[in-house]
Amino acid sequence: MLDILHASKRFAAPEGGWITALDDVSLTVAPNEFLTLLGPSGCGKTTLLRAISGFEDLDSGDIRIDGTSVAGLPAHRRPVNTVFQRYALFPHLSVARNVAYSLEIAGVDKPSINKRVGEMLELVGLDGYGARKIRQLSGGQQQRVALARSLVARPKILLLDEPLSALDKNLRQRMQFELKSIQSEIGIAFVFVTHDQEEALTMSDRIAVLGHGKIEQLGTPEDLYHRPISDFVARFLGEGNLFSGRIAEAQDGQCRISLEGGHSVTVPGRDSPPGRAVTLLVRPEDVRLGTGEAGRDLALRGTVSQVFFVGSDYRVVVDAPGLPGIKATIRAGRGTHPAPGSEIDLCVAQDALHLVEGSRI
């Protein structure tokens, strides 16, 4: 449905020189796919979205929608619509008129407009709200109006630029599931921009992690979370422990890694020369209490420095020799939990250790 081919874009910096927002970015979005552009501020995700929508021209490269290049085509002639961060609704118009606006401009007949507006309001859960003014709606309801207005023209692709960022946490989480449900029901491609990791993991079929104008990694939420290919992705997506080490020995697809503090462990990995610097990723939920299986699991003993109660779990921070600040998630129960200052044993199963192949931070 969407092909981005070698897209590049630079902006002149106020202090002189140039800022590279997009650096030879190529990406394909399938029909009916929910793809998220994820990354820190300034990574290029909004520039890429604006280029797809027609609000930004590329310096080089091409964008094709349903096989046809849209280079030079103005925004209003592209088969896409955008839901903006601030919704951009008309406060003086009713809900129904806000949703109908693009159809009225296009000259669609009144009976067809009424039918399509009614279908969209029902789809987003606002059936019966058509006569209300925008100021009479909550933030979540306004977000639904913006979504209905963007969908009523039946675009081939819907672009969403951090549309949930202004909502409170509970409403935001509810709208994440509703957006995904609506996308599945109407069956069009969504391209969603966010810097919120949990949002991306919850909603996406695939995630493109951007950094410094490039796609650092593209894959399913599960792939990116459990198998990041670089330190950048490992650090940005989800919480994790990153242990620096060196390859002590590598053969037959197994690497023995020496870590700080005299720790060592063997993990699957490509044959590499001894002495090469590497990074091991361990997610906090994979750190368990106990000594584990000798000779196989990574065993650590350390001192608890911090304990945070977060409802269903305790977040525990442990300082081990050479490996300070190890984060572990321990299920909260009716029994006792580690206290600050106490000595505890931790272990990580071998199959929960991920060798990060890249090293660029």
Which domains occur in the chain, in start order? 2-234 (3.40.50.300), 239-356 (2.40.50.140)
- What is the pLDDT, as a whole number, of residue 335? 62
pLDDT tens digits, one per residue of 225-246:
999 998 889 888 888 899 988 8
**In Å, what is the CA distance from 66 to each residue of 31, 34, 79, 157, 208?**
9, 16, 9, 10, 20
Percent of the chain with pLDDT over 90: 47
Could you give the CA distance from residue 68 to residue 1 in angstroms, rounded to a whole number?
10
pLDDT at 50 over 70: yes
Average of per-residue pLDDT values in the chain: 89
Provide the β-strand partners of residue 224: none
- What is the pLDDT, as a whole number, of residue 184? 86
3-state secondary structure of 136: helix
Mean of pLDDT values over 22-46: 94
| Per-residue pLDDT band at 113 (split at 50, 70, 90) | very high
DSSP letter (8 states) at residue 166:
T
- What is the pLDDT, as a whole number, of residue 69? 96
Tokens representing 25 are 């970015």
pLDDT tens digits, one per residue of 316-337:
999 998 898 999 998 877 666 7
- Which helix H or strand E contains 67, and what residues bound it? none
Could you give the CA distance from residue 122 to residue 112 in angstroms, rounded to a whole number?
15
Tokens representing 206 are 């695939």
| Per-residue pLDDT band at 261 (split at 50, 70, 90) | confident
Residue 267: count of CB within 10 angstroms of its CB: 17
| Per-residue pLDDT band at 360 (split at 50, 70, 90) | very low
pLDDT at 82 over 70: yes
Helix segments in the chain, DSSP class H: 45-53, 95-105, 110-123, 139-151, 169-186, 197-203, 221-226, 231-236
pLDDT tens digits, one per residue of 162-178:
888 777 788 788 888 88
- Which helix H or strand E contains 319, and what residues bound it? strand 313-320
Tokens representing 67 are 């096989």
- What is the pLDDT, as a whole number, of residue 358? 56
pLDDT at 247 over 70: yes
For residues 207 and 199, the answer to whether their CB atoms sit within 8 Å is no
Tokens representing 151 are 């969908």
- DSSP secondary structure string, 12-49? E-TTSSEEEEEEEEEEEE-TT-EEEEE--TTSSHHHHH
pLDDT at 298 over 60: yes
- Which helix H or strand E contains 352, and what residues bound it? none
Ramachandran angles phi, psi of 292, nearest 5°: 70, -165
Q: How far is CA 222 from the centre of its chain?
A: 12
| Per-residue pLDDT band at 62 (split at 50, 70, 90) | very high
